[in-house]
Every structure is written in structure tokens, then in C-alpha cells.
Amino acid sequence: MTYDLYIGDRLFSSWSLRGWLMFEKFSIPFKTHMIGLYSGQMARDMAPLAPARLVPTIRTPDGTVVGECLAIAETLAERHPDAGLWPKDESARATARWLCAEMATGFGALREACPMQLKYVHQGFEPSAAVLTDLERIETLWAHARAVSGSQHDWLFGNYCLADVFYAPVAARIVGYDLPVSAASRAYCDALLRDPAVLKWRAEALKVTYDPFPYALDLPNSPWPDYR
Ligand SMILES: N[C@@H](CCC(=O)N[C@@H](CS)C(=O)NCC(=O)O)C(=O)O
């Protein structure tokens, strides 16, 4: 018996990427099922999971349906206490929870102005003041995480944990819209996107082509960084 994970289009579904990383990065066995986000079939595809209506949604091996990334994260952490989803240290763990919760409920301006897309880097995107405020807050939280954990490289709390999962799609937005962040924050974004799991996700994502391309912007594009 394994978990079932229901996700949307990999190129665009930031929440699906979070849900998938929660399994993939912590070696929790799962089977992926695609839900048609842009096919007009989403309601029909999700009907067997009702009242869940968004992706990701999971079904646990005992048949319980769980929606919402924060709930999925806590469910997996509780059921797999040795998998390292949360940091071991109590302060680090509390801080990681905070960062995940603030991500899940905040940064509306960034999320609205810069939908995740893993295909290109948009050149010349001009972030609004509200987007810049969100970026500043994100960088403050990342710096705080490192101050609490003492981690000076790659992951926020030393080992890769759920906080890194929650911020991986944020990194994709920062890189995909070439948003202004400090060198240290950009290095963290690059680490998140260079991670083999994210490379695997993106390789699958690129197998699907879109015409028209959702969320197209009238801006020149440059290639996604070569993280291989
Ligand atoms: N708060 C939810 C957000 C999930 C979400 O918004 N997923 C999007 C795809 S990235 C979705 O299902 N959109 C379809 C819709 O809004 O109808 C979570 O934490 O999982």
C-alpha cells in the first residue's frame, strides 16, 4: 500500500511541486496521478476526492483524503517521524513551521504578479512595490531561519526540510522573473532549483507543450539557467 498524490500541470502548479517534493525528497513511497488543471476536466477529475478541490491532494494508504499543503506536510511528518521532514532541533522546527505557514498564507502580490512557470526567464519584468515588499519579507525570513539554525549554505535549517519544500516554487518565481534579491538569496534559489528532485520535476514538466502558453507575458525570454 502506498500514498496516492494528485497533482496538476508540473510546469505551472507551484502547490503540486510542493506536494510532490514532500514525498520525493523524503523517500516516502507514492504514486502520482495527474489532474487536468487547464483541460476543463478538473472538477470531474477531483470528484472522487471530494470535498478536496485543489491540487495537491493525497490519499493515505488507509484511504484518508487530505488536501492543503500544510495539512499534507503535517500528516506525512506525523506518519514518518524518522524521514526528517521537520528539523530535529525544537527551535529550528518551530521556525521552519512558521516559515511554511507564512508562505502558505502570504506573499499574495508576488504570487499574483509572477505565476510559477518553469520554462523561461522573463527579461525586463518590473516588479511592483508590493512585489518588492514581499521579496524583502521573504529574504528577512530566510535570514532569520539561518540565524536560528546556523546554516550557512544550501538549506535553511542544515538538512533539507519542509521549509525548503515550501520555498522551492518561490525560488522558481524569483529566477523565472529575474527578480532582484541579494546574492545570498539568489544562491539559495539556485540551490533549490539545482536540486536533482526539482530537475527531475522540470524534465517531466517540459514534456508537455502549451499553445497558447498560460501566463504568457509580452516580454523577451531567455533560457532557464542550466542547472545540470
Ligand atoms: N492552499 C492550497 C493551495 C492549492 C492550490 O491553489 N492549488 C492550485 C494549483 S497550483 C489549484 O488547485 N488550482 C485550481 C483552482 O483554483 O481551481 C494548498 O496549500 O495546497
Report the candidate in 4, 14, 21, 20 with the shortest Cα–Cα distance to residue 161: 21
Which atom of ligand 1 has the smallest separation from the CA of 71? 19
Q: What is the pLDDT of residue 39?
A: 86
Ligand 1 binding site (Cβ under 6 Å of any ligand atom): 8, 13-16, 37, 42, 54-56, 68-69, 104
SS3 31: strand
Give the percent of the chain with pLDDT over 70: 100
- E strands, 101-173, are 120-122
Q: Say how many Å lie between the CA of residue 12 and the centre of ligand 1.
A: 11
Q: What is the mean pLDDT of residues 179-184?
A: 98
pTM over 0.85: yes
Cα(220)–Cα(203) distance, integer angstroms: 22
Spatial contact of 77 and 22, defined as CB atoms under 8 Å apart: no
| Minimum CA distance residue for ligand 1 atom 18 | 68
On whether the CB atoms of residues 163 and 145 are closer than 8 A, the answer is yes
Rounded to the nearest angstrom, the distance between the alpha carbon of 137 and the centre of ligand 1 is 23
pLDDT tens-digit readout, 97-140? 999 999 999 999 999 999 999 999 999 999 999 999 999 999 99
Ramachandran area for residue 84 (φ above 0: left; ψ -120 to 50: alpha; else beta): left
Q: Could you give the 3-state DSSP secondary structure of residue 26? A: coil
Instruction: For residue 202, give the nearest of 2, 14, 1 by alpha carbon.
Output: 14
pLDDT tens figures, 24-68: 999 999 999 999 998 889 999 999 999 999 999 999 999 999 999
**Alpha helix (H) residue ranges in 106-128:** 108-113
Q: Is the pLDDT of residue 216 over 90?
A: no
Distance of alpha carbon 84 from alpha carbon 43, whole angstroms: 34
Q: Which atom of ligand 1 is nearest to the CA of 53?
A: 12
Using the 8-state DSSP alphabet, how is residue 48 labeled?
G
